Amino acid sequence: MTDLEKTFNDADPFAETPVNVPAEPYAETPVEIIPAAPAETPADIYAGSQVELPPLPEQVRTEPDTQTVAAAVQTFDQAAVTAESVEDYKEHIRQLKREYRKTKKAEKRARQNAAVVKSKPRIGLTVFISILSTLLCMALICALLLYFPTKESSLFATLLKKYNASNTGYSRTQPSGTHVGDDEIAPGSQITINVDGEGNTTVAYAKAVPSVVAIMTVQVSGAAWENPTETGLSQGAGVVVSEDGEILTNFHVIDSIVDRSTGAIGKNYKVYVYFDSSLVEPYEVVSLLGYDEDFDLALIKVDRTGLTPIEFADSDKLSIGEKVIAIGSPGGIEFMNSVCDGVISGLKRSIVSSSSDIVLYDMIQMTAPINPGNSGGAVVNSEGKLVGISVIKVVAENYENMSFAISSNTASRIIDSFRKYGKYVKPVLGVTIDTRYDWKAAKDNNWSQGAYVEDVSAGSSADEAGVKKQDIICAIEGIEVLDFATLRTELLKFAPGDTITLRVYRPSDDKFYDLKVTLKAS
């Protein structure tokens, strides 16, 4: 390769040989094609930036002829022209480099502009969605304000009212003029206020308290003409159950003054009933209508009419967790008509009395803190209806918030018996139950669970119906019987003379039988 070609190639950044550069798509005008290198010239014409002439013959060195000199001059001129062409070529290469950089910059700007143009629709869509969301939220708020225009009927006020109701127990709406809600009420008209299941303690108390009394027993000492003295013995509470003076209380409240031989209040003893917490004008009990030690209930009567009897609720419909209120005289009659509340924590409990070995059935367990003096008082629901009679004596001293009440349904049946027989006449089957038979024994023998009949009394209701020894009573009137306690609880819901259906399992033949039994009195 000649020195001239090497010079050309050093000036060309693209290839060892000249390259034809295509026109760039972003150039405004087509890019000129790189010119070919100048024609090959004699060697060493660029050496040292000086031109060396060809050597002259020896014979003409001293005096060169005119022709030779002219040829040399022409050769020098051609070399000069060639040198100028090389400089132009280098300048053109530099110009192409500048154009190439401009083209790349223009291409980059074009890509950036294209990206900006492409992103503009997305930005616009985002802005549109944001504006639309804001408008929808504003429209929803306006709709709520239009739908609930007043403070009283606004959504917030409704929630606040519910919150207040849950804390106070009820909510009260003040009538505007003669209107209550959507109804027009004439002046002087009587209206009924319905209280929901979470009703107000105040309302329930106000309804029940006129039917709750305080009771005190006294012993009379000295002759009638000597201004006898009275010594207090026991105090408790009671519930009015009739307009003409019938009052239900716990038997243990009057136990110490009852003459067992006559079934009446003993001589030299009195029972006073207080209808007002002022403790003035007590009424003396005139008769003992009946009592039952097993169920710790007694029915007494005072000579007074126009009383407000308490309203009974169906205790079979109670639910665990339901609110109850106990009204009585905790600590004595000076605290008459005190109130405490709690919830039902158990149903159909069977417990042993703390004063005897008697088992009480169908008891209500509750958290209302019953204290001495509450005995015989009312346990009412949130509507002020009687669900039970407080029984403080069965509560162990080592337990807190654990008290019991005789269910209202049991009390109602016993009251009816007191009025009819002067005592509680219980229905009996005439069977002896083996209380050792339980679910484990039933499982081990692959028998039905229930009350295992150990013996049947001759001539009893069960005997006449066909009940046999070793039968297992599984149900009464369709209600499942699991053990002796369940059997007794369900049996006591009936009265002597009632006909019931017993379902029994007979292991001897592995069959079930439905037997009709007419109950007899105890």
The angle that helices 66-147 and 3-11 make with each other, rounded to 10 degrees, is 10
> What is the CATH class of 427-521?
mainly beta
Q: How far is CA 338 from CA 205, 332, 377, 393, 407, in A?
A: 10, 10, 10, 18, 21
Q: What pLDDT is attached to residue 458?
A: 94
pLDDT of 278 > 50? The answer is: yes
| Confidence class for position 247, pLDDT limits 50, 70, 90 | very high
The tally of CA atoms less than 13 A away on the side-chain side of residue 311 is 11
At 63-96, the pLDDT tens digits run 555 665 566 556 555 555 555 667 777 787 888 8
Least confident range of 22-36, 88-102, 129-143, 347-361: 22-36
Work out the mean pLDDT of the chain and round it to a whole number: 76
Tell me, what's the pLDDT at 43? Answer: 44
Distance CA 455, CA 476 (A): 18
Q: Tell me the mean pLDDT in the region 405-421.
A: 93
Select the more confidently predicted residue: 215 or 398. 215
pLDDT of residue 359: 76
| Position 490 pLDDT exceeds 50 | yes
User: What is the chain's percent helix, strand, coil content, to nearest 5?
Assistant: 35, 25, 40
Q: Which two tokens stand for residue 375?
A: 């005995």
- Cβ atoms of 389 and 297 closer than 8 Å: yes
**What pLDDT score does 245 carry?**
93
- pLDDT band at residue 508, thresholds of 50, 70 and 90? very high
**Cβ distance 407 to 387 under 8 Å?**
yes
What per-residue confidence (pLDDT) applies to 322?
Answer: 92
Residues 450-461: what's their mean pLDDT?
94
Please, what sign has the CA dihedral across residues 251, 257, 258, 261?
positive
Mean pLDDT throughout 202-210?
Answer: 89
208 pLDDT more than 80: yes
Q: Tokens standing for 486?
A: 């369940």
Q: Does domain 198-424 have CATH number 2.40.10.120?
A: yes
More confident residue, 401 or 100: 100
Give me the percent of the chain exceeding a pLDDT of 90.
36
Angstrom CA distances, 138 to 129, 131, 143, stand at: 14, 11, 9
Q: List the single range of 105-119, 227-241, 249-263 with lowest mean pLDDT.
A: 105-119
Instruction: Just list the catalytic residues.
Output: 252, 296, 375
Share of the chain above pLDDT 70, in %: 67
**Which is more confident, 456 or 186?**
456
User: What is the model's pLDDT at position 144?
Assistant: 65
Residue type, 438: D
- The residue whose two tokens read 């290839």 is 15
**Total number of residues shown for the chain:** 522
Nearest-angstrom CA–CA distance, 72 and 267: 175
pLDDT band at 165 (very low <50, low <70, confident <90, very high): very low
Q: Tell me the pTM.
A: 0.58
Buried b (16+ CB within 10 A) or exposed e, 123-149: eeeeeeeeeeeeeeeeeeeeeeeeeee
Cross-strand pairs, 180: 183
pLDDT at 29: 44
The answer to whether 418 and 426 are in contact (CB under 8 A) is no
Q: What is the pLDDT of residue 34?
A: 46
pLDDT at 59: 46
What ranges do the domains of the chain cover? 1-168, 198-424, 427-521
User: By mean pLDDT, which of 63-67, 275-279, 390-394, 471-475 is the weakest?
Assistant: 63-67
pLDDT at 207 over 80: yes
Question: Higher model confidence: residue 3 or residue 99?
Answer: 99
Please enumerate in sequence order all residues whose Cβ is within 8 A of that of 41, keeping only pairs 6 or more positions apart, or say none. 2, 4, 78, 79, 82
Please list the residues that pair with 218 across neighbouring strands.
Answer: 232, 270
* Contact of 474 with 505, CB cutoff 8 Å: yes
Dump pLDDT digits (tens) for 27-47: 444 444 444 444 444 444 444
Q: Which residues pair with 390 in a beta bridge?
A: 405
In 3D space, the residue among 447, 417, 160 whose CA is nearest the CA of residue 294 turns out to be: 417
pLDDT over threshold 70, residue 197: no
**Which has the minimum average pLDDT: 102-106, 247-251, 305-309, 468-472?**
102-106
Query: Burial code of 30-69, b = ≥16 C-beta within 10 A, e = fewer?
Result: ebeebeebbeebeeebbeeeebeeeeeeeeeeeeeeeeee
If you average pLDDT over residues 289-313, what whole number do you get?
Answer: 93
Average pLDDT over every residue of 450-462 = 94
CB 270 within 8 A of CB 230: yes
